[in-house]
Structure 1
Amino acid sequence: MSDTLAQSIKLVFGSEGGYVNHPRDPGGATKYGITAATLGAWRKLGRKAMPPEVAALTLAEATRILDKQYAQPIRYAELPSPIDYVVFDEAVNSGPVQAIKDLQACVGAKVDGNIGINTLRAVQGINDRAALVRKLCTRRLSFMRRLKTWVTFGRGWTNRVNHVQATALAMIK
């Protein structure tokens, strides 16, 4: 795992926090951004993980899941910094397909939810990474505002996206 991915995972852990099981969260029991469904699939349980199983999730296992289930589908290692972090955080929060679609829309690539060579070229052709960070975060919040759970989680999501944006902008050299 690259140093930048390790740093991004630490940042996501900071945003996601520990174990939660909010009754209005459709993801149910969650720890470190890993939902019961994701953990059940990862462990090949044939069902969602039970809340005590989610609560017992270790940082080490969560790190492996975040790498395999979120970083690899967005081709994290091939994205420039800090775009890698911004897309990764959205992938953990809203799913890799949504994060990829938002990235594709922001760089003018075909929006299909799969990162291929054309999307990578479009991203790498962006010279103003700060503008792309802002555009991605604006688009992400626009998507979230349309979710039925916005009333419950909107304030926290806004704080998270604002933190991601500020952190990503600080990464630009």
Structure 2
Amino acid sequence: MNFDEAFDELQISEGGYSDHPDDTGGATMYGVTERVARARGYAGDMRALPLAFAKTVARGDYWDKYQCDQLGPVLGFQVFDAAYNGGPAAKWLQRAVGATEDGVIGAKTIGALRAADPVKVMARFNAYRQQYLAGLAVWPSFGKGWARRIAENLLLGAA
């Protein structure tokens, strides 16, 4: 899955505008929080945030930063979605492949991934993600949606 396909798939979960009172990220549009939008120079109303702006943020801050194009068809989207949604996605991947958990996906992490069974790594990665999310104080508000999102990602990765 390339970046454009992954971004389109991501928008199925992220959708449009949200401003849930329990969301510590505050107002979001296409999954971009107001804090991130402002830090990237966006000054407008969050409801009017352009999709192209969100796509630029997604590519630079998540897809490229986490080297998703190097992670293969099973794991690239999984890591992208998890990083975009929030949480230490690089460390989950590193733990899943038995690499040093330094939070930076580099040559050693990618090498360990290439030597592993990607479906097993995907299962472990999503288990670590689920454990993390279930431990958050906002789980009662968002847990059902997060669990559904992870289940859908597992099905996508196993296709």
Name the residue aligned to 2:147: 158
Matching of residue 111 in structure 1 with residue 101 in structure 2: yes
In structure 2, C-alpha distance between the alignment counterparts of 1:57 and 1:75, rounded to whole Å: 26
In structure 2, C-alpha distance between the alignment counterparts of 1:116 and 1:60, rounded to whole Å: 28
Structure 1 stretches of at least 4 aligned residues deviating more than 6 Å after TM superposition:
none
Query: How much does 1:79 deviate?
Result: 1.2
| TM-score computed with the length of structure 2 as normaliser | 0.95
1:120-145 per-position Cα deviation (integer Å, ceiling 9, x unaligned): 1111111x222221111111100101
Unmatched tracts of structure 2, length 5 or more: none
Name the residue aligned to 2:35: 37
User: Which aligned pairs between 1:35-114 and structure 2 lie closer than 5 A?
Assistant: 35-43=33-41, 53-95=45-87, 98-114=88-104
SS at match of 2:18: coil
SS at match of 1:81: helix
Query: How much does 1:32 deviate?
Result: 1.0
| TM-score computed with the length of structure 1 as normaliser | 0.88
CA RMSD of aligned residues (A): 1.3
Query: How much does 1:53 deviate?
Result: 2.0
In structure 1, C-alpha distance between the alignment counterparts of 2:74 and 2:2, rounded to whole Å: 9
Unmatched tracts of structure 1, length 5 or more: none
In structure 2, C-alpha distance between the alignment counterparts of 1:129 and 1:110, rounded to whole Å: 18
1:20-62 per-position Cα deviation (integer Å, ceiling 9, x unaligned): 000110000011110011111111x6xxx6xx62211111111
SS at match of 2:128: helix
In structure 2, C-alpha distance between the alignment counterparts of 1:161 and 1:53, rounded to whole Å: 30
